């Protein structure tokens, strides 16, 4: 099968492209900077460039779309251009090229409205109610993708939840760096119960969605390890794997939300070089439960996670040990 994987310079996209190439698929990667995935053809460009998108989609049988603008801050127009318009361009290009399968990689945040999620399935994407520009634009993009589902063009939306693993710079390294600098509190004692997904499991779920697209089309599926744990325990596991003392100071979630609102206003005027230290969305994610019923996902995709959280933490520790030696 000829498969286009967008966003392969990221940890998850690279993993998907590598897995598909390793099993013998003819893989093309499409992203703005080189990914250099072994065995894959590479096309550089942006998903908001119609000519580049058309060139990448030409001749493909299927698409796994991971490319997105992921941030807690930034101009709404930038999120809309990449996440919404880019997805629409890719959907059109894939159909024009004759592709029959399209896996849209979404996020559980598209259905998170600020309150706890306790054992729910994949609720409907809510662009008007989702929290923050990233979640709102991903929700709109997911709706556009599922609306394109049609005979001969099977679309599946997959929402991996909090993906982490060795080499992760989006979550793990930021947690470790902020903890090491003493700038990482836990909210409400870190008691909120949340699901996460070890990267190898997220990769295998996306491959399963690609393979099962003709049976599972038209639906959205949340993917997790199915092992909800308190936020403080998850953060501590990442910190200990990196040899860093976990945070022990706690901040009330209500205070963090208020601080996040202030930070967002300041960041809009004077943005920093990195992600803001706190936003309302981040405060909500760290202080509310969000764990999911995985029965429908596992049934429809014929998939189960192969790597437990404890094994994932062991692999993360091995990664940091090897990096320190090098």
pLDDT of residue 184: 84
SS3 content of the chain, % helix, strand, coil (to 5): 45, 15, 35
Q: Are 171 and 162 in contact (CB under 8 A)?
A: yes
Q: C-alpha angle with apex 145: 144 to 149, nearest 5 degrees?
A: 115
What is the tens place of the pLDDT at every residue in 212-221?
A: 999 999 999 9
Q: Is 319 a catalytic residue?
A: no
What is the tens place of the pLDDT at every residue in 89-101?
A: 999 999 999 999 9
Check 134, 198, 319, 320 and give the catalytic one: 134
pLDDT of residue 120: 85
Alpha-carbon distance of 154 to 209, in angstroms, equals 11
What is the tens place of the pLDDT at every residue in 218-246?
A: 999 999 999 999 999 999 999 999 999 99
**Domain-wise residue ranges, the chain:** 2-161+196-224+292-306
Share of the chain above pLDDT 90, in %: 64
Secondary structure letter of residue 218 according to DSSP? T
User: What's the pLDDT band for 263 if we cut at 50, 70, 90?
Assistant: low
Considering the entire predicted model, what is its pTM?
Answer: 0.93
Integer-rounded Cα radius of gyration of the chain: 19
277, pLDDT greater than 70? no
- 229: CB partners within 8 A, 6+ apart: 193, 194, 196, 309
Alpha-carbon distance of 301 to 44, in angstroms, equals 31
Least confident of 16-25, 37-46, 287-296: 287-296
267, pLDDT greater than 70? no
274, pLDDT greater than 70? no
Mean pLDDT within 158-168:
94
Q: Does domain 2-161+196-224+292-306 match CATH 3.30.70.1710?
A: no
pLDDT of residue 249: 82
């Amino acid at each position: 099968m000829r498969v286009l994987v967008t966003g392969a310079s990221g940890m998850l996209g690279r993993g998907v492209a590598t897995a598909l190439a390793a099993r013998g698929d003819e893989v093309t990667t499409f992203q703005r900077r080189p990914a250099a995935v072994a065995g894959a053809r590479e096309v550089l460009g942006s998903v908001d460039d119609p000519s580049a998108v058309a060139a990448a989609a030409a001749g493909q049988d299927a698409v796994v779309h991971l490319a997105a603008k992921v941030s807690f801050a930034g101009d709404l127009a930038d999120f809309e251009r990449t996440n919404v318009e880019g997805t629409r361009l890719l959907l059109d290009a894939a159909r024009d090229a004759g592709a029959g399968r399209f896996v849209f990689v979404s996020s559980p945040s598209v259905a998170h409205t600020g309150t706890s999620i306790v054992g729910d399935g994949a609720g409907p994407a809510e662009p008007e109610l989702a929290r923050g520009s990233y979640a709102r634009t991903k929700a709109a993009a997911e709706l556009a993708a599922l609306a394109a589902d049609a005979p001969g063009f099977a679309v599946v939306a997959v929402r991996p939840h909090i993906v982490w693993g060795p080499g992760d710079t989006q979550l793990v390294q930021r947690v470790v760096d902020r903890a090491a600098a003493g700038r990482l509190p836990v909210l409400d004692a870190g008691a909120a119960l949340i699901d996460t997904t070890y990267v190898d499991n997220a990769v295998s779920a996306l491959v399963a969605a690609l393979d099962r697209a003709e049976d599972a089309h038209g639906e959205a599926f949340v993917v997790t390890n199915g092992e909800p744990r308190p936020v403080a325990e998850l953060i501590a596991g990442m910190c200990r794997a990196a040899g860093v003392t976990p945070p022990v100071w706690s901040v009330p979630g209500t205070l963090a939300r208020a601080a996040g609102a202030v930070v967002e206003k300041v960041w809009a005027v004077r943005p920093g070089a990195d992600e803001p230290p706190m936003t309302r969305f981040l405060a909500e994610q760290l202080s509310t439960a969000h764990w999911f019923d995985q029965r429908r996902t596992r049934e429809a995709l014929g998939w189960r996670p192969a790597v437990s959280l404890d094994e994932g933490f062991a692999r993360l520790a091995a990664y940091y040990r090897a990096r320190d030696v090098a």
